[in-house]
Amino acid sequence: MAAGSNPTKQYGITKPLSLLGPVEADLQRTAELERFLVEAGLYESPEESAKRVEVLAKLDQILKGWVKQLTSQRGYTDQMVEEANAKLFTFGSYRLGVHGPGADIDTLCVGPSYVNREEDFFMILHEILAQTEDVTELQPVPDAHVPVMKFKFYGISIDLLYASVSLLVVPDDLDISQGSVLYDVDEATVRSLNGCRVADQILRLVPNVEEIDMNKASWSALFEPFQFFEAYKNYLQVDIIAEDDEDLRLWKGWVESRLRQLTLKIERDTYGMLQCHPYPHEYADPSRQCAHCAFFMGLSRKEGVKIQEGQQFDIVEL
């Protein structure tokens, strides 16, 4: 490399297939995709987009007020109360700009070291949200693999995580992609931070978040529905039954938070020979006269793995 020359920036681990920009055919396919998405109703309206921004701003104000309230109650100085702050981040499909109409918003609140998850988040903030007009279906799930508070705010579904970092004051320009943010925090906090950190990394590694290359099929083929209940020979059904709709909502949230672990255990305890594919939506049988719902998982033997004929797997003890 010649002295003074700048090295070419590399995105990701492997080298790109090409560094060339889009050609006319690529631009045409992009325009075709955008038209298809609009016609299929997969873009939210400008009004809904604006509402999401407004809802996040209101939630941000609630979180900042919550931290200032706790700071004052714990006897910190007036200057500390003035500087006390919480910062709201988004991740998941909303952060990546690929969410559709009606999709929930994955959010993360980062607070100072003296505001904890167990009492301050799941008890005090929970009570504040419960008394907030336009907050509905409030459901804390503290025992989930990633502890979360689920609710609707002005009709928009919110999943809110909390991370207490090793700072007395959380700056507005906090960069949680830096490794230092993980210093002296517990595993639940690391998992809570991971969603935002991964989303930021994905956006950094994509030099142009707008281009895609498909030559062999039309865009509509990409959105053909998957026939889940015809794709497998065996299914695992998880039934959830409660006394009433409110109990069902709470019980369902707890069970749903465990499904990921169940999926992992099935694949781990069968040494990867049995694969588990969860159906992303719940199912309710209208003929049943009780508060209930069910989740389904398709079970299949892993392709390419030799399994003895007639071999069975026992997943009862998982």
Each residue of 99-151: pLDDT tens digit?
888 889 999 999 999 999 999 999 999 999 999 999 999 999 999 889 999 99
- Residues paired with residue 292 on neighbouring β-strands, in sequence order: 241
* 3-state SS string for 69-115: HHHHHCCCCHHHHHHCCCEEEEEHHHHHCCCCCCCCEEEEEEECCCC
Name which residue leads in pLDDT, 74 or 30: 74
Of 1-15, 186-200, 263-277, the least confident: 1-15
Does 168 or 97 have the greater pLDDT score? Answer: 168
Structure token pair of residue 205: 């590694």
Mean pLDDT for all residues in the chain: 85
Q: What are residue 156's DSSP bridge partners?
A: 153
- According to the model, what pLDDT value does residue 317 have? 59
**Length of the chain in residues, anyone?**
318
- What average pLDDT does range 197-208 have in this prediction? 76
Res 45: pLDDT: 87
Q: What average pLDDT score do residues 190-199 get?
A: 92
Fill in the amino acid letter for 116.
N
Cβ–Cβ under 8 Å, residues 307 and 250: no
Predicted pLDDT at 135: 96
Spell 185-205 as b/e; 16+ CB within 10 A means b.
beebbeebbbbbbebbeeeee
Residue 156 CA to residue 104 CA, distance in Å, equals: 7
Task: Place 170 in a pLDDT band, splitting at 50, 70 and 90.
Answer: very high
| Residues ≥6 apart with Cβ < 8 Å to 16 | 10
Answer with the residue of higher pLDDT: 68 or 17: 68
From the list 259, 289, 291, the residue with the least C-alpha distance to 276 is 259
* 30 pLDDT higher than 90: no
**Confidence class for position 14, pLDDT limits 50, 70, 90:** confident
The predicted structure's pLDDT at residue 6? 56
Which one-letter amino acid corresponds to residue 86? A
Q: Worst-scoring range by mean pLDDT, 156-165, 179-188, 212-221, 222-231?
A: 212-221
Tell me the range of 40-49, 198-207, 237-246 where mean pLDDT is highest.
237-246
